[in-house]
Amino acid sequence: HAKRAGKNTFKFFDASLNKSALTRLRTENALRHALENEELRLHFQPQLDTRTGRMQGLEALLRWRHPELGEISPAVFIPIAEETGLILPIGEWVMRTACQQLRAWQASGSAIQRVAVNVSACQFKNRDFTNLVARILAESGLDPACLELELTESILMDHADESIGMLHQLKALGVQLAIDDFGTGYSSLSYLKRFPIDRLKIDKSFIYNIENDRDNAAIAQAVIAMAETMALHVTAEGVETREQLQFLSASCCGEVQGFFFSKPVPVDEVPETIRRLAEHHNGTDSGASGEG
Protein backbone atom coordinates (compact mmCIF):
# COMPACT_ATOMS: atom_id res chain seq x y z
CA HIS A 1 0.00 0.00 0.00
CA ALA A 2 2.77 2.39 0.99
CA LYS A 3 4.53 1.61 -2.21
CA ARG A 4 1.44 2.42 -4.22
CA ALA A 5 0.98 5.72 -2.38
CA GLY A 6 4.58 6.60 -3.13
CA LYS A 7 4.02 5.82 -6.74
CA ASN A 8 0.92 7.96 -6.82
CA THR A 9 2.78 10.82 -5.17
CA PHE A 10 5.48 10.56 -7.77
CA LYS A 11 2.89 10.51 -10.55
CA PHE A 12 1.20 13.57 -9.10
CA PHE A 13 4.50 15.44 -8.86
CA ASP A 14 5.39 14.41 -12.39
CA ALA A 15 2.02 15.55 -13.69
CA SER A 16 2.31 18.96 -12.04
CA LEU A 17 5.78 19.42 -13.49
CA ASN A 18 4.37 18.56 -16.88
CA LYS A 19 1.59 21.03 -16.39
CA SER A 20 3.91 24.00 -15.83
CA ALA A 21 6.09 22.90 -18.74
CA LEU A 22 2.95 22.58 -20.84
CA THR A 23 1.71 26.03 -19.85
CA ARG A 24 5.06 27.46 -20.83
CA LEU A 25 5.04 25.56 -24.14
CA ARG A 26 1.49 26.68 -24.85
CA THR A 27 2.42 30.31 -24.12
CA GLU A 28 5.50 29.99 -26.31
CA ASN A 29 3.51 28.53 -29.22
CA ALA A 30 0.80 31.15 -28.82
CA LEU A 31 3.45 33.89 -28.83
CA ARG A 32 4.75 32.57 -32.16
CA HIS A 33 1.41 33.54 -33.72
CA ALA A 34 0.73 36.69 -31.70
CA LEU A 35 2.20 39.04 -34.32
CA GLU A 36 0.47 37.57 -37.39
CA ASN A 37 -2.82 37.23 -35.48
CA GLU A 38 -2.59 40.90 -34.48
CA GLU A 39 -2.87 40.16 -30.77
CA LEU A 40 -0.15 42.66 -29.83
CA ARG A 41 -0.72 46.35 -29.22
CA LEU A 42 1.02 49.25 -27.56
CA HIS A 43 -0.07 51.22 -24.56
CA PHE A 44 1.47 54.62 -23.83
CA GLN A 45 2.38 56.21 -20.50
CA PRO A 46 3.09 59.96 -20.14
CA GLN A 47 6.41 61.28 -18.87
CA LEU A 48 6.12 64.77 -17.37
CA ASP A 49 8.42 67.69 -16.61
CA THR A 50 8.37 67.85 -12.79
CA ARG A 51 8.70 71.64 -12.63
CA THR A 52 6.20 72.73 -15.30
CA GLY A 53 3.90 69.69 -15.30
CA ARG A 54 4.08 69.55 -19.10
CA MET A 55 4.10 66.19 -20.82
CA GLN A 56 7.50 65.60 -22.39
CA GLY A 57 6.99 62.19 -23.91
CA LEU A 58 5.26 58.82 -23.87
CA GLU A 59 6.74 55.41 -23.10
CA ALA A 60 5.45 52.64 -25.37
CA LEU A 61 4.65 49.46 -23.40
CA LEU A 62 3.77 46.22 -25.12
CA ARG A 63 0.49 44.41 -24.38
CA TRP A 64 -0.62 40.91 -25.45
CA ARG A 65 -4.14 39.54 -25.26
CA HIS A 66 -4.56 35.94 -26.42
CA PRO A 67 -8.13 34.90 -27.38
CA GLU A 68 -8.08 31.93 -24.95
CA LEU A 69 -5.24 32.64 -22.53
CA GLY A 70 -6.40 36.23 -21.98
CA GLU A 71 -4.17 39.18 -21.09
CA ILE A 72 -0.59 38.07 -20.46
CA SER A 73 1.85 40.33 -18.57
CA PRO A 74 5.04 41.56 -20.27
CA ALA A 75 6.85 40.24 -17.17
CA VAL A 76 5.78 36.75 -18.35
CA PHE A 77 5.99 36.94 -22.14
CA ILE A 78 8.98 39.27 -22.69
CA PRO A 79 11.41 36.74 -21.13
CA ILE A 80 9.90 33.97 -23.33
CA ALA A 81 10.20 36.23 -26.37
CA GLU A 82 13.85 36.83 -25.46
CA GLU A 83 14.68 33.14 -24.94
CA THR A 84 13.04 32.07 -28.21
CA GLY A 85 14.41 34.93 -30.32
CA LEU A 86 10.82 36.05 -31.04
CA ILE A 87 11.79 39.39 -29.48
CA LEU A 88 13.53 40.29 -32.77
CA PRO A 89 10.39 40.42 -34.96
CA ILE A 90 8.26 41.57 -32.00
CA GLY A 91 10.74 44.32 -31.06
CA GLU A 92 10.87 45.47 -34.67
CA TRP A 93 7.06 45.68 -34.69
CA VAL A 94 7.13 47.70 -31.43
CA MET A 95 9.70 50.15 -32.81
CA ARG A 96 7.88 50.61 -36.13
CA THR A 97 4.44 50.93 -34.53
CA ALA A 98 5.67 53.43 -31.91
CA CYS A 99 7.41 55.62 -34.54
CA GLN A 100 4.43 55.50 -36.93
CA GLN A 101 2.03 56.30 -34.09
CA LEU A 102 3.97 59.35 -32.90
CA ARG A 103 4.31 60.54 -36.52
CA ALA A 104 0.54 60.15 -36.95
CA TRP A 105 -0.19 62.14 -33.77
CA GLN A 106 2.20 64.88 -34.87
CA ALA A 107 0.64 64.95 -38.37
CA SER A 108 -2.76 65.50 -36.77
CA GLY A 109 -1.44 68.55 -34.92
CA SER A 110 -0.37 67.09 -31.59
CA ALA A 111 2.73 68.57 -29.96
CA ILE A 112 3.96 65.26 -28.48
CA GLN A 113 7.75 65.47 -28.67
CA ARG A 114 9.01 62.03 -27.81
CA VAL A 115 8.25 58.33 -27.75
CA ALA A 116 10.38 56.00 -25.61
CA VAL A 117 10.81 52.38 -26.72
CA ASN A 118 12.21 49.53 -24.60
CA VAL A 119 15.00 47.56 -26.24
CA SER A 120 15.99 43.99 -25.31
CA ALA A 121 19.53 42.63 -25.12
CA CYS A 122 19.16 40.45 -28.26
CA GLN A 123 17.94 43.43 -30.26
CA PHE A 124 20.78 45.67 -29.09
CA LYS A 125 23.38 42.97 -29.74
CA ASN A 126 22.09 42.26 -33.25
CA ARG A 127 24.55 43.58 -35.86
CA ASP A 128 21.71 45.04 -37.89
CA PHE A 129 20.07 46.95 -35.04
CA THR A 130 21.35 50.42 -36.00
CA ASN A 131 20.35 49.87 -39.63
CA LEU A 132 16.93 48.70 -38.54
CA VAL A 133 16.37 51.81 -36.42
CA ALA A 134 17.59 54.01 -39.29
CA ARG A 135 15.23 52.25 -41.73
CA ILE A 136 12.22 52.55 -39.43
CA LEU A 137 12.92 56.25 -38.83
CA ALA A 138 13.23 56.89 -42.58
CA GLU A 139 10.07 54.90 -43.39
CA SER A 140 7.98 56.57 -40.71
CA GLY A 141 9.31 60.06 -41.40
CA LEU A 142 9.77 60.63 -37.65
CA ASP A 143 12.45 63.12 -36.54
CA PRO A 144 15.14 60.88 -34.95
CA ALA A 145 15.36 63.29 -31.99
CA CYS A 146 11.77 62.25 -31.14
CA LEU A 147 12.78 58.62 -30.51
CA GLU A 148 14.29 57.58 -27.18
CA LEU A 149 15.64 54.06 -26.73
CA GLU A 150 15.49 52.58 -23.21
CA LEU A 151 18.27 50.10 -22.43
CA THR A 152 18.93 48.50 -19.06
CA GLU A 153 22.22 48.71 -17.20
CA SER A 154 22.87 44.99 -17.58
CA ILE A 155 22.49 45.15 -21.36
CA LEU A 156 25.15 47.87 -21.51
CA MET A 157 27.52 46.52 -18.85
CA ASP A 158 27.41 42.96 -20.18
CA HIS A 159 29.84 43.79 -22.99
CA ALA A 160 30.69 47.32 -21.96
CA ASP A 161 33.39 48.03 -24.56
CA GLU A 162 31.23 46.85 -27.47
CA SER A 163 28.30 48.77 -26.01
CA ILE A 164 30.18 52.08 -26.27
CA GLY A 165 30.61 51.55 -30.02
CA MET A 166 26.97 50.52 -30.49
CA LEU A 167 25.74 53.52 -28.53
CA HIS A 168 27.85 55.89 -30.66
CA GLN A 169 26.36 54.35 -33.82
CA LEU A 170 22.86 54.94 -32.47
CA LYS A 171 23.67 58.49 -31.34
CA ALA A 172 24.92 59.20 -34.88
CA LEU A 173 21.32 58.58 -36.06
CA GLY A 174 20.19 61.40 -33.78
CA VAL A 175 18.10 59.33 -31.35
CA GLN A 176 18.04 59.78 -27.56
CA LEU A 177 19.37 57.07 -25.25
CA ALA A 178 18.18 56.27 -21.73
CA ILE A 179 19.27 53.75 -19.11
CA ASP A 180 16.14 52.07 -17.73
CA ASP A 181 15.72 50.61 -14.21
CA PHE A 182 18.85 52.49 -13.14
CA GLY A 183 20.25 51.31 -9.83
CA THR A 184 19.12 47.69 -10.12
CA GLY A 185 22.12 46.50 -12.14
CA TYR A 186 25.78 46.89 -11.48
CA SER A 187 26.96 50.02 -13.27
CA SER A 188 30.64 50.75 -13.31
CA LEU A 189 30.80 54.51 -12.92
CA SER A 190 33.88 54.73 -15.12
CA TYR A 191 31.92 53.09 -17.96
CA LEU A 192 28.86 55.18 -17.29
CA LYS A 193 30.99 58.24 -18.00
CA ARG A 194 32.03 56.77 -21.36
CA PHE A 195 28.53 55.80 -22.52
CA PRO A 196 27.05 58.52 -24.78
CA ILE A 197 23.68 58.44 -23.01
CA ASP A 198 21.14 61.19 -22.42
CA ARG A 199 19.02 60.04 -19.50
CA LEU A 200 18.90 57.89 -16.37
CA LYS A 201 15.57 56.41 -15.31
CA ILE A 202 15.59 55.73 -11.57
CA ASP A 203 14.04 52.31 -10.98
CA LYS A 204 10.63 52.36 -9.32
CA SER A 205 11.84 50.21 -6.42
CA PHE A 206 13.77 53.28 -5.17
CA ILE A 207 10.75 55.57 -5.55
CA TYR A 208 8.60 53.35 -3.35
CA ASN A 209 7.85 55.16 -0.04
CA ILE A 210 10.64 57.60 -0.85
CA GLU A 211 9.29 60.28 1.52
CA ASN A 212 9.77 57.91 4.52
CA ASP A 213 12.44 55.44 3.42
CA ARG A 214 15.85 57.02 4.09
CA ASP A 215 17.75 54.54 1.94
CA ASN A 216 15.51 55.07 -1.07
CA ALA A 217 15.66 58.83 -0.59
CA ALA A 218 19.47 58.77 -0.39
CA ILE A 219 19.81 56.56 -3.49
CA ALA A 220 17.40 58.66 -5.57
CA GLN A 221 19.10 61.91 -4.52
CA ALA A 222 22.55 60.46 -5.27
CA VAL A 223 21.40 59.45 -8.77
CA ILE A 224 19.87 62.91 -9.35
CA ALA A 225 23.11 64.60 -8.21
CA MET A 226 25.24 62.30 -10.36
CA ALA A 227 23.02 62.93 -13.40
CA GLU A 228 23.34 66.67 -12.84
CA THR A 229 27.16 66.42 -12.66
CA MET A 230 27.28 64.32 -15.82
CA ALA A 231 24.78 66.61 -17.61
CA LEU A 232 22.24 63.80 -17.98
CA HIS A 233 18.47 64.07 -17.77
CA VAL A 234 16.80 62.06 -15.03
CA THR A 235 13.35 60.48 -14.81
CA ALA A 236 11.76 58.83 -11.77
CA GLU A 237 9.49 55.91 -12.70
CA GLY A 238 6.72 54.42 -10.57
CA VAL A 239 5.45 57.69 -9.05
CA GLU A 240 2.14 56.74 -7.46
CA THR A 241 1.48 59.40 -4.81
CA ARG A 242 1.52 63.15 -4.26
CA GLU A 243 4.05 62.66 -1.44
CA GLN A 244 6.49 60.92 -3.80
CA LEU A 245 6.02 63.71 -6.36
CA GLN A 246 6.64 66.41 -3.74
CA PHE A 247 9.80 64.69 -2.55
CA LEU A 248 11.12 64.27 -6.13
CA SER A 249 10.21 67.84 -6.99
CA ALA A 250 12.08 69.16 -3.93
CA SER A 251 15.03 66.94 -4.92
CA CYS A 252 15.11 68.54 -8.41
CA CYS A 253 14.30 65.35 -10.30
CA GLY A 254 13.68 66.55 -13.88
CA GLU A 255 10.94 64.19 -15.05
CA VAL A 256 8.37 61.91 -13.46
CA GLN A 257 6.29 58.99 -14.73
CA GLY A 258 3.80 56.78 -12.93
CA PHE A 259 0.24 55.84 -12.00
CA PHE A 260 -0.19 59.15 -10.09
CA PHE A 261 -0.39 60.88 -13.49
CA SER A 262 -1.63 58.06 -15.70
CA LYS A 263 -1.34 54.34 -16.15
CA PRO A 264 -0.23 53.20 -19.61
CA VAL A 265 -3.28 53.75 -21.87
CA PRO A 266 -4.33 52.43 -25.30
CA VAL A 267 -3.79 54.60 -28.40
CA ASP A 268 -7.36 55.96 -28.51
CA GLU A 269 -7.19 57.16 -24.89
CA VAL A 270 -3.93 59.10 -25.37
CA PRO A 271 -5.48 62.40 -26.60
CA GLU A 272 -7.94 62.46 -23.67
CA THR A 273 -5.16 61.65 -21.19
CA ILE A 274 -3.01 64.47 -22.57
CA ARG A 275 -5.97 66.85 -22.34
CA ARG A 276 -6.63 65.90 -18.72
CA LEU A 277 -2.98 66.35 -17.73
CA ALA A 278 -2.74 69.70 -19.56
CA GLU A 279 -5.96 71.00 -17.99
CA HIS A 280 -4.71 70.16 -14.57
CA HIS A 281 -1.42 71.81 -15.33
CA ASN A 282 -3.13 75.00 -16.58
CA GLY A 283 -5.55 74.97 -13.68
CA THR A 284 -2.90 74.86 -10.96
CA ASP A 285 0.17 76.19 -12.77
CA SER A 286 2.28 74.67 -10.04
CA GLY A 287 4.07 71.84 -11.76
CA ALA A 288 3.20 68.21 -12.17
CA SER A 289 0.25 67.34 -9.99
CA GLY A 290 -1.77 64.55 -11.60
CA GLU A 291 -5.36 63.83 -10.65
CA GLY A 292 -4.50 63.52 -6.98
Residues that bind ligand C2E (CB under 6 A): 45, 61-62, 73-75, 78, 91, 94, 118-120, 150, 180-181, 204, 237-240, 258-259, 264
Please report, for residues 13, 90, 144, 199, 287, the alpha-carbon distance to residue 175 in angstroms, rounded to integers and kept in the order given.
Answer: 51, 20, 5, 12, 27
Binding string, residues 180-219; x marks residues near Mg ion by CB under 5 A: xx--------------------------------------
Q: Taking contact as CB under 5 A, which single stretch among the options 15-23, 76-84, 149-157, 259-267 is the one that binds Mg ion?
A: 149-157
The residues pairing with 148 across neighbouring beta strands, listed in sequence order, are 116, 176
Tell me if residue 268 falls in helix, strand or coil: helix
Binding flag, residue 148, Mg ion (CB under 5 A): no
289 touches 53 (CB < 8 A): yes
> From ligand C2E, Mg ion, none, which one binds at residue 58 (CB under 5 to 8 Å depending on kind)?
none
Choose among 3, 67, 1: nearest CA to 30: 67
The listed partner (Mg ion, ligand C2E, none) that binds 92, CB under 5 to 8 Å by sort, is none
120 binds, among ligand C2E, Mg ion, none (CB under 5 to 8 A by kind): ligand C2E
Count of H helices and E strands in the chain? 11, 10
Q: How far is the CB of 78 from ligand C2E (least distance, A)?
A: 5
Binding mask 232-271 for Mg ion (x = CB under 5 A): -----x----------------------------------
Burial of 286 (0-12, 13-18, 19+ CB in 10 A): exposed
Helix, strand, or coil (residue 171): helix
Contact range with Mg ion by CB under 5 A, out of 29-37, 174-182, 210-218, 262-270 = 174-182
62 or 274: whose CB is closer to Mg ion?
A: 62
Q: Which residue is nearest to ligand C2E (CB)?
A: 258
Looking at the Cβ atoms of 30 and 170, the one nearer to Mg ion is 170
> What is the radius of gyration, based on Cα positions, of the chain?
21
Residues 154, 146, 225: CA angle, nearest 5 degrees: 50
Q: Which residues bind Mg ion (CB under 5 A)?
A: 118, 150, 180-181, 237
